[in-house]
Amino acid sequence: MTPQQCKAARAMLGLSQDGLAKRSGVAVSSIIPFEKGQRAPRNATLAAIRTALEAAGVEFIEENGGGAGVRLRR
């Protein structure tokens, strides 16, 4: 998951950074620099964020020549 995918997923779900922090158990102070591209979180932190966003209803699209993306699950 890229920082851009994380921000897009939150926007699609109407989630604030605080809301994502609560759902994922990850501190806002870790989410903010990740989304700004300033710092890569540990693998466990990234997994917790991704799991929370997927549980809320998004799917991550891997890089496949057309760019990485995110969409709402049907």
d(CA 63, CA 52): 21
> What's at 60, amino acid-wise?
F
Q: Is 63 exposed, middle or buried (0-12, 13-18, 19+ CB in 10 A)?
A: exposed
pLDDT tier at 57 (50, 70, 90 boundaries)? very high
At residue 61, the 3 state secondary structure works out as: strand
Domains parsed from the chain with CATH numbers: 3-72 (1.10.260.40)
CA 14/CA 20 separation, integer angstroms: 10
pLDDT at residue 65, rounded to an integer: 72
Q: Give me the pLDDT at residue 30, please.
A: 97
